[in-house]
Structure 1
Amino acid sequence: MVAKEESPDWQLGSQTRPMMKAGELIIRLKQADHLKGKSFLWFGRASMYALFTIGGEKRNSKVIHHSGTSPVWNEQLSFKIAEHVHFGLYNTLNVHFFDHELRRRNIPRGTAKIDVAALLEEHKNEVPVQEYQVFYKGKPKGTVELGLTFIPSTRKPLNWLQNLVKSLALNDSSNFAQR
């Protein structure tokens, strides 16, 4: 049987890259500038909204009607990150921008990818509002301004297996003493 060689990237995984922790991630969405596109209805003024995805969860911002390509939200959204999830799934925040259409499918207008874990580690869980590049079809097209706050969970992780083993060991030793 041949031993499977493990790649150095896999071995170093969490040691070289910061990982998210359990807690609450708060996103302060301020505005976007120069996003791609215009709407044919309402005299060319797009109605924009943002879709945030992280760790398989989604949150929508409110729709800013007739905002054009530079909507202003001044909105706050949050994600709860539980203790039992794979934290690697929560390292990157994807922000997708759409033109909201009433009579047809919403039209994509760009995406920003933000390395949340690294930013939060660098800024000690409080990232001030700053600009991030938005890409449309692989090309830079506009920016988004947002800030991040992370509130770590105060719950101590349950190690139920260790607790069970300890309680069984105590029960066995007390039963043994009675025999």
Structure 2
Amino acid sequence: MPRGTLEVLLVGAKGLEDTDFLAGNMDPYVTLTCRTQERKSSVASGQGTQPKWNENFTFTVSDGTKELKIRIMDSDFATSDDFVGEATIPLEPVFMERSHPPTAYNVVKDGKFQGEIQLGLTFKPEINERHDCGFDYEESYGGWKHSSNDY
């Protein structure tokens, strides 16, 4: 299982369901959860259904990490915050390819499409300390590269 660091660029969202009584007054924010680690974006005050964040978040990836969960909420002053929708992003493709440019993911609530959220993802694998000593290793030879020098 991969170990390392997951960097998330939260770009923005569009076409979100407006949960406010006064249309267009929505103040969305996002919670990002990777296993037990949770991060929260700033509130996009007054940006309604087309918020922009352009914020970066970092998570430590360890054994068993399979997905990133995104929840979009509408910040309310006098009442509890409203749930707008969520997206679950599988991380296996990111682990294999190392990065995904900003991509739109579907936001759903109660099984219904509620808009899109745009995220960029980068995975930086943990460097194995045993192999980080300046030598070139070649895995097919048991970890040692054959020398081409004549002795």
Secondary structure of the corresponding residue to residue 148 of structure 1: strand
| In the alignment, structure 1 residue 51 sits paired with structure 2 residue 26 | no
In the alignment, structure 1 segments of 5+ residues that lack a partner are: 1-18, 158-179
- Is the 2:94–2:122 Cα contact (8 Å) retained in structure 1? no
| In the alignment, structure 1 residue 92 sits paired with structure 2 residue 72 | no
In the alignment, structure 2 segments of 5+ residues that lack a partner are: 131-151
Cα deviation for residue 146 of structure 1 reads: 0.7
What's 1:142 paired with?
Answer: 115
Amino-acid identity (%): 30
Cα deviation for residue 102 of structure 1 reads: 1.8
Cα deviation for residue 71 of structure 1 reads: 0.4
Cα deviation for residue 155 of structure 1 reads: 4.1
Cα distance between partner residues in 1 of 2:99 and 2:71: 22
User: What is the TM-score normalised by the length of structure 2?
Assistant: 0.79
CA RMSD of aligned residues (A): 1.7
Cα deviation for residue 149 of structure 1 reads: 0.5
Q: What is the correspondence of 1:92-131 to structure 2 with a 5 Å cutoff? A: 92-121=67-96, 124-131=97-104
Q: Choose between structure 1 and 2: higher strand proportion.
A: 2
Cα distance between partner residues in 2 of 1:48 and 1:105: 13
Secondary structure of the corresponding residue to residue 77 of structure 2: coil
Q: What is the correspondence of 1:68-79 to structure 2 with a 5 Å cutoff? A: 68-79=48-59
**Residue identity in the other structure for 1:151:** K
User: What is the TM-score normalised by the length of structure 1?
Assistant: 0.67
| In the alignment, structure 1 residue 34 sits paired with structure 2 residue 15 | yes
**Residue identity in the other structure for 1:50:** V
The structure whose Rg is larger is 1
What's 2:105 paired with?
Answer: 132
